[in-house]
Structure 1
């Protein structure tokens, strides 16, 4: 996949899908800005990439704060001269309550990170992409943004929003050499899945029963799709949601 020498920002890259994606981009020759709200976690990913002779740099950012997003993108452009790709991965999960039981603070927190944070990153990145005449956005949505996800109202709302924002922006900038796509992972081995299974261990058998492949996805499998969408191999793809769910949506 052709991403050699591309400058790539990945939010929420200190763990899970974000970490795997950072490692994959570096493996294929990109320079990766590993961003996370936890700078220590981000730096550990940078160190791992450096150990494998990759190029990476850590920047702390809370995507729910617009000034942090501006600093993330402006610092990247100042340091490397441009920005080729931004992967909007940072996200958090809810407390798994039915809609009438949902806590207002949980709604506000999830929407702030998963929805508003993606909007902030898209807004600032697009301003840079328009200046330089090209760019690529890959948003990490979810199967919960495509189909019903009970006891998950804030997370589902945020991920449906990410799919909608992806499609809207793709149409707006299709003639500007800017592509916008999303990936929609199903149940993937990650901190969010661990959170669910720790709260309800009985869900392990339930979830696997609805996955035709009878297993969870691996973060490396999601990362491969993200790198592919960001590569020069997919120049005619925009506004798409690539579903990686082991057949669950079937």
Structure 2
């Protein structure tokens, strides 16, 4: 079975930097048509300019917290490529929170950014996948991959809101996989440990000791580069994973094999 995604059309959110950008770039290099989506238009423009211009990569800038913006993203993708086969929900945010502060609204923010946006966009894209597959009696109709975190299964006092949002995303992945299975749309998630994302780079600038803590609690002893996740996402999106749905695949350098409660889960 082929890992190829050549000729497929993919929407990748959170594609202006970090993991989302690495996935979008990899997909384009593998011959997929890719629509990069993010709020950071300047970074999107720069990314599209650096990729060789061959017509298979475009961008859409907008606030995906708005349903109209999501609809416009889908319309822009259809205008450019006439279909959508893969959705990677890569737009995510990591914020610390105070679990004892009743005025702290981080939980609401994390649920919106890391759960609700992915859910609403998945609904819209899945409906389009079903519509464009009319008359297709076999084969994969579409694939959705959600980017999650091992924080869903770990415990850190200052990341309660983030951890809850990731746990909810994992459950959404399983529930949506069952709901969309009759339509031959697969839904999986990738839960990763510490990856050198834009947000982690910011954390490391402010706390030099944090990197040592992460490496000490990771059996492979290092922080992953964003590109190390891209081929796993490609596998989940490809026909090679045709009998895999509702799974949360862990890529964490072995972090979840250890059990220190206060270890970094970023």
Q: Structures share a fold, TM > 0.5?
A: yes
Structure 2 residue aligned with 1:59: 60
The 5 Å alignment of 1:1-250 reads: 1-50=3-52, 53=54, 55-94=56-95, 96-101=96-101, 104-133=104-133, 134-250=141-257
Cα 1:7–1:99 change in 2 (3 A) is same
- TM-score norm. by structure 1 comes to 0.94
1:170–1:179 CA contact under 8 A, matched in 2: yes
Residue 154 of structure 1 and its aligned partner are, at CA, apart by 1.5
Query: Max radius of gyration: which structure?
Result: 2
CA-CA distance at 1:21 after TM superposition = 0.3
Structure 1 residues 219, 102: closer, same or farther in 2, change over 3 A? farther
CA distance in 2, matches of 1:152, 1:102: 15
Q: CA deviation at 1:60?
A: 0.9
Q: Please give the per-residue CA displacement for 1:36-76, whole angstroms capped at 9, x wherever unaligned.
A: 1011111222122225x572001012221111111101221
Looking at structure 1, the residues matched to 105 and 216 of structure 2 have their Cα atoms a distance apart, in angstroms, of: 33
Q: Indicate the residue corresponding to 2:136 in structure 1.
A: none
Cα distance per residue 1:75-102 (max 9 Å; x no partner): 21233111000100001111x2431147
Tell me, in whole angstroms, the C-alpha distance in 1 between the residues paired with 2:153 and 2:229: 17
Q: Which runs of 5+ in 1 are unaligned?
A: none
The 8 Å contact of residues 33 and 81 in structure 2, kept in 1 or not, is answered as no
Distance 1:78 1:170 in 2: 27
Does structure 1 conserve the Cα–Cα contact (< 8 Å) formed by 2:16 and 2:38?
Answer: yes
TM-score (structure 2 length as normaliser): 0.88
CA distance in structure 2 between the partners assigned to 1:35 and 1:71 by the alignment: 11
Give the Cα separation in 1 of the matches to 2:97 and 2:149.
18
List structure 1 runs of 4+ shifted beyond 6 angstroms. Answer: none
